[in-house]
Amino acid sequence: MCQPVRREVSLMAVALIKWCLKRLLPGVLVCAVLGGGAWWLHHQGWQAGFAAAKSAGDMALASEKTAHADERQKASEATTAALLAAKRVEAAQRSRADGLAAQLNDKNHELERAQALLRLGISKAISDDNSANGSCGFNGLGPHGLQLYARALGYTGGGDARTGDK
């Protein structure tokens, strides 16, 4: 008795399997194929969208980097130009200052020579005035001293101190 039941169960199982293979398997396979295809299409679309977005983002980033590099380059060139202009102005001012210093030095030497000549002239004028008056000392400006004073002030007379000519 056990055997026929077992055989029936096994026949039923085989019939059930056959029925599932005929009726359910094609639907399951169609669903699996459709689901797999949908997943593949979705994945391909996502990949394509991601690649397009990444490409657009990379291009925007490269454009931004280029613009930033151009800005830095322009700022650097402007700074360099300003620095060169400042150096040119500095060199011109230094040259002008050197020239003015040389002129001042020349004028100082000229004034020192003029002062030395005036000191010598004053000493000579005083001694000439004292010797012209004899042995008594001259008190004040004598004719030689007055002539020296007039020349120092820039008066042009060309007079002779001995004759009283102005």
Contact indicator for 161, 143 with CB cutoff of 8 Å: yes
d(CA 144, CA 140): 11
Under DSSP, is residue 55 helix (H, G, I), strand (E, B) or coil?
helix
Query: What pLDDT, on the 0 to 100 scale, is given for residue 133?
Result: 64
Q: How confident is the model over 26-55, as pLDDT tens digits?
A: 888 888 998 998 888 888 888 888 888 999
Residue that the structure tokens 């002008």 belong to: 96
With a threshold of 0.85, does the pTM exceed it?
no
Q: Report whether pLDDT(166) > 50.
A: no
Separation between Cα atoms, residue 86 and residue 63, nearest integer Å: 34
For the chain, the average pLDDT equals 83
Q: Pick from 138, 131, 137, 161: which is nearest to 149 by CA? A: 161
Half-sphere exposure of 153 (CA within 13 A, CB side): 8
Rounded-to-integer distance, Cα 34 and Cα 27, Å = 10
CA-CA distance, 35 to 17, in Å (whole number)? 24
Structural Rg of the chain based on CA atoms: 60
Q: How far is 137 from 146, CA to CA, in rounded Å?
A: 16
pLDDT tens digit sequence for 66-99: 999 999 999 999 999 999 999 999 999 999 999 9
Q: At what angle do helices 143-153 and 25-132 cross, to 10 degrees?
A: 160
pLDDT class for 63, splitting at 50, 70, 90?
A: very high
pLDDT at 156 over 60: yes
What's the whole-number mean pLDDT along residues 5-18? 75
Q: Write the single-letter amino acid at 118.
A: L
| Residue 130: C-alpha distances to residues 158, 160, 161 (Å) | 22, 17, 13
- Mean pLDDT of all residues in 1-19: 70
Q: Which of 68-82, 118-132, 148-162 has the lowest mean pLDDT?
A: 148-162
Residue 109 has pLDDT above 90, yes or no: yes
165: helix, strand or coil: coil
The C-alpha atoms of residue 86 and residue 79 are separated, in whole angstroms, by 10
- Is the confidence at residue 13, as pLDDT, over 90? no
